């Protein structure tokens, strides 16, 4: 067996199967395309499902890939075992109805024994018990003895709905020294001796949504060979993490942290970080952004887990983005898309790590307090866990992992209930009572005689409906639906509100309050009869509210300009995630990973206004969907389009598929002003803005407010900012003075605290109650007391409502005598109905019985005596 790097193994695999007439395909993105059954690509065959099922014609009937994959089912095992990963590369060779078991088995054996030169005596296989064909090929063609062929019921491969079938796994014997030592140890044992390196899936069936297995028209081959596992065998490493595909990242972590890889806890943390940064890098590279749902939640959970393990290694500064260079050094040439997005990857990581770091310490303090006050069942309530998630950004799984390390559990059902309750409140807060009403059956209408024409000013009523039933006439006071044979009203759609207006007939009038489109393309009006009577067949004069229509058009075109400006300023990862176009304002939701800075907002606003001032025509064309894509037209993600689409273009600045109302020229918009920028809490940002008359009104209102502010400051408008800045600086100084006074007050009883000093075994010990208004002040006070002592132990307690809190500090030199702040504070907290722990030199805890503060302090002193006894 010759040594090969991970990159050499990948290349050898792909080239071997190229020699077997396979087409090499580049890895597919981690986001599945048109496959709602999968959240992320987790296997080599996952993106090839349409070829296996026959829905698409493959580019070749023999294909080979090295597919990047993400799996998080066993994330808790990552770092604890030699093989578990969230990100890994799956080598695979595939046949779409071309070859089957004989070739798959023969070529796998040839690659392992001839190309990689693995020892044939160390290779074993497993098969499905009923797969006699696979047995014959392994036994008779390859020549494996029966004792090296194992039959297991679980040798049947499937992942969600789609292609599946019996499989055959190939194992490598790492030797008895890697085994459990049991006489029964063999392939299938849970120990590390026998390592699965390749799985050959003989795809004969398609699993449907309802769990049925249907024979495929053509038999296929799907194989998966883990590159990291294969590298560990070739490079003779004890784990995947020590191969050249991952260990350079661990070395970088060691350099940053100054950690010790030989320490089991530190080693596990380093392995977690090395694995997770690979997943993070590739997920962001493929367009996944941190959020609170779906793929974004998976990314956020992985990233925050890595940050937490960094803190366990003592890394306090931002560090994850600094590991990206090492990932790219190893894998950047094979996956050039990672290099293309390097700056974005680092920026997103830094932003997310910075946000989580800001709340991590507070969240950990709250979690420790929760565990200190938990009941005898040692279960954190769902409400508590949700608070950590909602307020401090702790994914539930992270809380569960941290709590589990100290013997606590979490109420998952309670967490989900709290999550649902918040979601229900959010939905209720945003629910709008719909003005839409039921329509009668329109299939009787001759649609060839019904048209939509924005220029129409006269029409005939084709149908009137009331509560879903066709009626022949409608009278004063009734709300009805009306369909015209020539309709100028633009229906609500694409985030744009509808036109409104008035219909006038010979004997009556109607106020049109809404217009909605039916699936068949017909537009129905929701109208209130304000005078007389309207009948089917009546001729009507139409007056669309022109000012409303113009303002809608202004705001809709401005929305297109806004999206183009966002992409130019923030990057091409920006995509529309929702919009609202009203006559008064516009709202645009878009994918982005951090708040937009004021400087960026100023630049975005300026770009839009530049296009408005250029007096550029707005071009509207209808064309084939393929032609629109070639033109570079942007489409709304997930939206379904017909063969012919409407393309709205503004010079070379903006080009989108859109069916909404637009101005003829950008100058009609007048001006554009951003009024707010916020986050929706799910990796999506929101900008609200105004145009035209509303923008002018905003400018006038702001000018008046500035004049009022200058009057209050008794300054000129031009001097107001400087004067306000001076007042704020003065206020800040006053707040500092107040904080110092509070700190001095906490230190004022220093003499009484020091008076409690006693000597235990030659160690000075102070255990006393303190007058502090926060844990920060209590910690500062403990530091000051310990500084005055010079050495020894300080245990301080304070009451706060119905709780009591403790801080314990032990001088570094005294920890060598066995004194441990965590053990001392635990004894004190338990005496006051709580629990806790911490480091040898510092710990904090809480209790539920403040009346037992004095008793708790005595218990802490007794703990010191017991340790020194």
Identify the burial level of 804 via C-beta atoms within 10 angstroms of its C-beta, where 0-12 means exposed, 13-18 middle and 19 or more buried: buried
Q: How far is CA 228 from CA 237, 329, 334, 356, 446, in A?
A: 11, 16, 15, 31, 65
**Annotated binding-site residue? 820:** no
Q: What pairs with residue 66 in β-bridges? A: 91
H/E element holding 846? strand 842-847
Other Cβ atoms within 10 Å of 276 Cβ, number: 28
Does an H or E element contain 65, and which?
Answer: strand 62-70
The response to whether 560 counts as a known ligand-binding position is yes
Residue 537: how many other CB atoms lie within 10 Å:
12
H or E stretch covering 150: strand 149-151
Q: In this structure, what are the phi and psi dihedrals at residue 589, rounded to the nearest 5 degrees?
A: -100, 140
DSSP one-letter string for 632-646: T-B--TT----SEEE
Backbone angles phi, psi at 366, to 5 degrees: -65, -40
Counting DSSP H helices and E strands in the chain, the numbers are 24, 34
Report the alpha-carbon distance of residue 559 to residue 565 in Å, rounded.
10
Specify the DSSP element, H or E, that contains 787: helix 775-789
What spatial distance separates the first Cα and last Cα of the chain, rounded to whole Å?
60
Residues 841, 809 contacting (CB under 8 angstroms) = yes
Contact, 100 vs 134, CB < 8 A? no
**662 assigned ligand-binding residue:** yes
- Answer yes or no: is 373 a known binding residue: no
How far is residue 673's CA from residue 562's CA, in Å, rounded to a whole number? 11
Compute the distance between CA of residue 536 and CA of residue 473 in angstroms, rounded to an integer. Answer: 6
- Please, are residues 631 and 624 in contact by the beta-carbon 8 Å criterion? no
Distance CA 785, CA 771 (A): 14
Q: Are 381 and 329 in contact (CB under 8 A)?
A: no
Compute how many other C-beta atoms are within 10 angstroms of the C-beta atom of residue 211.
Answer: 7
Radius of gyration of the chain (CA): 35
| Phi, then psi, of 381 in degrees rounded to 5 | -70, 155
The annotated binding site for Zn(2+) is made up of 556, 560, 658, 662
Which residues are annotated as part of the binding site?
556, 560, 658, 662
């Amino acid at each position: 067996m010759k040594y090969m790097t991970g990159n050499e193994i990948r290349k050898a695999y792909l080239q071997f199967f190229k020699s077997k007439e396979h087409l090499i395909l580049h890895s597919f993105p981690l986001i599945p395309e048109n496959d709602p059954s999968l959240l992320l690509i987790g296997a080599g065959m996952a993106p090839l499902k349409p070829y296996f099922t026959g829905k698409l014609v493959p580019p070749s009937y023999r294909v080979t890939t090295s597919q990047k994959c993400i799996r998080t089912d066993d994330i808790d095992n990552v770092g604890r075992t030699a093989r578990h990963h969230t990100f890994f590369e799956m080598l695979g060779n595939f046949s779409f109805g071309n070859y089957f078991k004989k070739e798959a088995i023969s070529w796998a054996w040839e690659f392992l024994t001839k190309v990689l030169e693995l020892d044939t005596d160390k290779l074993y296989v497993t098969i499905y018990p009923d797969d006699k064909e696979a047995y014959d090929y392994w036994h008779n063609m390859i020549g494996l003895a029966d004792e090296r062929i194992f039959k297991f019921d679980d040798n049947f491969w499937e992942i969600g709905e789609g292609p599946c079938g019996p499989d055959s796994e190939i194992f490598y014997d790492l030797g008895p020294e890697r085994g459990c030592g049991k006489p029964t140890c063999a392939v299938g044992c849970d120990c590390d001796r026998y390592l699965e390196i390749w799985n050959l899936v003989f795809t004969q069936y398609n699993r449907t949504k309802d769990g049925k297995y249907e024979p495929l028209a053509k038999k296929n081959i799907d194989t998966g060979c883990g590159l990291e596992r294969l590298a560990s065998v070739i490079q003779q490493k004890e784990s995947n993490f020590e191969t050249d595909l991952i260990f350079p990242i661990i070395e970088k972590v060691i350099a940053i942290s100054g950690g010790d890889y030989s320490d089991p806890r530190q080693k596990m943390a380093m392995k977690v970080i090395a694995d997770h940064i690979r997943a993070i890098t590739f997920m962001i590279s493929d367009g996944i952004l941190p959020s609170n749902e779906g793929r974004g939640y998976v990314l956020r959970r992985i990233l925050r887990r890595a940050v937490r393990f960094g803190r366990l290694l003592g890394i306090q500064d931002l560090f994850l983005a600094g590991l990206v260079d090492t990932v790219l050094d190893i894998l950047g040439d094979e996956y050039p898309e990672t290099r293309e997005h390097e700056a974005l990857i680092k920026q997103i990581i830094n932003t997310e790590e910075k946000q989580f770091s800001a709340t991590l310490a507070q969240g950990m303090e709250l979690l420790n307090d929760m565990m200190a006050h938990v009941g005898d069942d040692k279960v954190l309530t769902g409400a508590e866990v949700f608070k950590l998630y909602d307020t401090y950004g702790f994914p539930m799984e992270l809380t569960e992992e941290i709590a589990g390390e100290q013997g606590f559990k979490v109420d998952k059902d309670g967490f989900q209930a709290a999550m649902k309750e918040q979601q229900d409140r959010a939905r209720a807060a945003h629910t709008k009572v719909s003005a839409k009403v039921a329509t009668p059956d329109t299939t009787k209408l001759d649609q060839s005689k019904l048209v939509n024409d924005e220029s129409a000013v006269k029409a005939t009523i084709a149908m009137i409906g009331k509560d879903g039933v066709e009626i022949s006439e409608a009278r004063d006071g009734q709300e009805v639906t009306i369909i015209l044979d020539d309709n100028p009203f633009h229906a609500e759609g694409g985030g744009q509100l509808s036109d409104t207006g008035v219909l006038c007939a010979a004997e009556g009038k109607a106020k049109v309050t809404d217009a909605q489109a039916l699936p068949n393309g017909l537009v129905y009006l929701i109208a209130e009869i304000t005078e007389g009577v309207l009948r089917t067949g009546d001729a009507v004069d139409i007056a669309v509210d022109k000012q409303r229509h113009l303002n809608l058009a202004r705001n809709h075109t401005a929305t297109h300009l806004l999206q183009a400006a966002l992409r130019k300023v923030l990057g091409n990862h920006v995509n529309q995630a929702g919009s609202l176009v009203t006559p008064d304002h516009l709202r645009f939701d878009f994918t982005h990973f951090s708040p937009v800075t004021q400087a960026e907002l100023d630049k975005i606003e300026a770009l839009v206004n530049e296009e408005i001032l250029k007096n550029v025509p707005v071009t509207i064309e209808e064309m084939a969907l393929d032609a629109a894509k070639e033109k570079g037209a942007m489409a709304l993600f997930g939206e379904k389009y017909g063969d012919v689409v409407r393309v709205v273009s503004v010079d070379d600045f903006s080009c989108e598929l859109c069916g909404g109302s637009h101005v003829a020229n950008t100058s009609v918009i007048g001006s554009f002003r951003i009024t707010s920028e916020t986050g929706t809490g799910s990796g999506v940002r929101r900008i609200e803005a105004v145009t035209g008359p509303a923008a002018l009104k905003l400018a006038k209102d702001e000018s008046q407010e500035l004049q009022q502010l200058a009057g209050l400051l008794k300054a000129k408008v031009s001097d107001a900012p400087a004067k306000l800045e001076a007042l704020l600086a003065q206020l800040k100084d006053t707040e500092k003075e107040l904080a110092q006074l509070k700190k001095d007050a906490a230190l004022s009883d220093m003499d009484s605290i020091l008076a409690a000093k006693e000597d235990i075994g030659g160690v000075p010990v102070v255990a006393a109650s303190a007058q502090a208004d926060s844990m920060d002040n209590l910690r500062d006070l403990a530091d000051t007391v310990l500084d005055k002592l010079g050495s020894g132990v300080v245990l301080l307690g304070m009451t706060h409502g119905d709780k009591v809190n403790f801080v314990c500090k032990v001088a570094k030199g005294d920890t060598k005598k066995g004194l441990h702040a965590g053990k001392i504070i635990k004894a004190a907290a338990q005496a006051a109905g709580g629990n806790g722990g911490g480091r040898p030199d510092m710990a904090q805890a809480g209790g539920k019985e403040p009346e037992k503060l004095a008793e708790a302090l005595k218990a802490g002193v007794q703990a010191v005596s017991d340790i020194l006894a």
